[in-house]
Structure 1
């Protein structure tokens, strides 16, 4: 006797036991010609696999086909780092607080260099001051950018970020000493306006600038090579073009880094534990914007 169940059978409900008893009763009645009573099953037993008929199988064999149904509740998406709105909001607030503190410290140091005439004259007479800060500056930057565990460890990450901010402020103050105070103030005002506008644009636009990470890095390498060549070429228009390209490039970098911080529907996003790295990226974008805008203003004078 062949018995085939084409519909799905729920093993947990014990439906397969009913089919097995029915097949056994039919087999006994065929052989003996008398009905056979089966004792109730003590409970459902779980069977695994999907048995199929083999070649040369006897006529009294039976086939039970079992199909597993996957319910929507069984497949659940794994929550990401920004699955909760409160986590993302706290991350963004922490980044902006760190960034605000960095900009305030940097602005204060620049003000000392441009308004203290004695210090300004000393920097102009001793250019070695800038070259002495560069090695320490790059060492701290390398540690913050490449040492992920140290960057997430409190309070080491705050200490390194504070040292980096002070060194960056000293460098910017020394550079600002070569410009007039009015030019520096105009550059600061323009940088604040551009930064605020680009930040609002990055938060509102539907364009995903995080996909441009590789392209912007290649353009940055080209800009660095262009800047090295300008050390040996004295041309007003080439320097003006260099300053304009740098302003555009770091404007795009600022939009991208803001979207990396916000996360959400963007393709790439930063981990909530990378608040120091996010603040560092946006801070460097703003500083480079300031330097290129200052160069543009200085070239127009």
Structure 2
């Protein structure tokens, strides 16, 4: 704030008397001077920038300035308006974190599908051996106890892997268990395939591949969230188990072809829904997601779903070809 005596002179006075120290508001040489364009209220300027307020006081800063005045202290709205002005690097940190999380998720998806590809390669190689090599097929049919042993190993290793989802602490152990589980399930799928004709096995492989590709494309493109349907899928799994027990009891007394095919069709549909659910958990842009550290569990879930879809479709194709 400056005093009245220190206020700058008017334009006309400064022009005629540049050295004068008299009061600029008194008329000079008897000629009246027009009043300067002062603002009608203190601190407000309706003229060009630089005009003076009443009483020679500089215009005060205001949140709502007059026309033609833009205060330098008012923030200019930008795209980063939600960030704190005291931390200009928050926006860069935000985008950096988003990019890092996306990169981690993509690396996690690649790792899961690499493990899944290795598992499916082993499984369908074993299935091909049990299908195309006649001595192996006849040996499995002659000794069915080997099939039941593989089934027991499959359930035990699966339970251990589901309960031990800590790859950082049990990384070698999880890989060993995953390898044992893959061999056990591959052998079980191979022994089941040995009871069907080659044409039925090839047909089941082709249909399974088409279903898996279609489900993967659907999950990456759709906006429908299936991760919130976990309760519904659990109920469907329980119903599938009950229908399987009833079907086994009925077929032990009298063979009903349509009942067996109905059970296989329901099983294929249920595990296709499980494949959709687990794939969206893997992608991670829905309500629920798998942690990037649980890549073994992610590969295990997809692997079990695909093999189960193959086995159910194999039952349908085998009944049709017979």
TM-score by length of 2: 0.67
Q: Deviations over 1:87-130 (max 9, x none)?
A: 01100000000000000000111111111111111111111111
1:242 aligns with 2:259: no
User: Mind listing any 5+ residue stretches in structure 2 that lack a counterpart?
Assistant: 1-81
Contact 1:260 1:269 (8 Å CA) reproduced: yes
1:276 aligns with 2:317: no
1:267 aligns with 2:302: no
Q: Deviations over 1:229-276 (max 9, x none)?
A: 111113222212111111111111111111000002x00000000000
Give distance in 1, aligned partners of 2:278 and 2:98: 17
The Cα of 1:72 is off from its aligned counterpart by 5.3
Contact 1:114 1:177 (8 Å CA) reproduced: yes
The equivalent residue for 1:251 is: 272
Change (3 A) 1:151 1:289: farther
Change (3 A) 1:81 1:239: farther
Contact 2:225 2:287 (8 Å CA) reproduced: yes
The equivalent residue for 1:222 is: 239
Q: Deviations over 1:44-65 (max 9, x none)?
A: xxxxxxxxxxxxxxxxxxxxxx
User: Mind listing any 5+ residue stretches in structure 1 that lack a counterpart?
Assistant: 1-70
The equivalent residue for 2:154 is: 137
Q: Which stretches of structure 1, 4 residues or more, deviate above 3 A after TM superposition? A: 71-74, 78-83
1:208 aligns with 2:233: no
Give distance in 2, aligned partners of 1:121 and 1:253: 34
Contact 2:166 2:294 (8 Å CA) reproduced: no
Question: How many aligned residue pairs are there?
Answer: 230
Aligned-CA RMSD value: 2.3
Give distance in 2, aligned partners of 1:175 and 1:152: 36
Of 114, 125, 138, the residue aligned with 2:131 is: 114
The Cα of 1:150 is off from its aligned counterpart by 5.8
Give distance in 2, aligned partners of 1:131 and 1:167: 11
Matches within 5 A, 1:147-166: 147-149=164-166, 153-166=170-183
The equivalent residue for 2:204 is: 187
Q: Secondary structure at the match of 2:293?
A: coil
Contact 1:211 1:268 (8 Å CA) reproduced: yes
Give distance in 2, aligned partners of 1:217 and 1:83: 34
Change (3 A) 1:244 1:81: farther
Q: Deviations over 1:117-162 (max 9, x none)?
A: 1111111111111112222221111110112236862222211111
Contact 2:167 2:296 (8 Å CA) reproduced: no
1:295 aligns with 2:315: yes
Give distance in 2, aligned partners of 1:145 and 1:210: 18
Q: Secondary structure at the match of 1:270?
A: coil
TM-score by length of 1: 0.72
